[in-house]
Amino acid sequence: MTKKLDHIHHLALQVDDIESSISWYRQNFLCETVYQDDSWALLKFDNLSLALVLPNQHPAHFAITRNDPQNYGQPKIHRDGTSSVYITDPAGNNVEILKLAS
């Protein structure tokens, strides 16, 4: 039996300006804006999503969806309705464990 691999939901890049970054990505690539506010946005591509975040609000990271984020710490509910836990790998990279949508 083959194990089902974990799913990378999104990568998060730090940007200086959310609105201008959205415009640049939308002008240069075929993607959709899924969520946007003053401190971050989520752009959907065919194979994964790209989060654009402000450095003083969110760390650069990648997010993996799982059923058990509570096994990594206390999940926090975000303003978009998702919940997750941030952990750090041995090299210091931020990894978000994002609760699978019900």
| CATH code, domain with 76 | 3.10.180.10
Which DSSP letter does residue 5 get? P
Domain contains 84: yes
> Does any domain span residue 1?
no
Residue 27 lies in a domain: yes
**What span, in angstroms and rounded, lies between the C-alpha atoms of 20 and 37?**
13
Residue 16: inside a domain, yes or no? Answer: yes
Q: How far is CA 8 from CA 5, 19, 35, 100, in A?
A: 10, 24, 18, 11
Whole-prediction pTM: 0.86
Domain that holds residue 70: 7-99
Q: What is the pLDDT of residues 32-71, one digit of tens each?
A: 999 999 889 999 999 999 999 999 988 999 999 999 999 9
* pLDDT, the chain, mean: 93
Residue 94 domain-assigned?
yes
Residue 2 located in a structural domain: no
- 50 close to 29: Cβ distance less than 8 angstroms: no
The domain tally of the chain equals: 1
Report the pLDDT value the prediction gives residue 13, as an integer from 0 to 100: 97
In angstroms, the CA 53 to CA 16 distance is 8
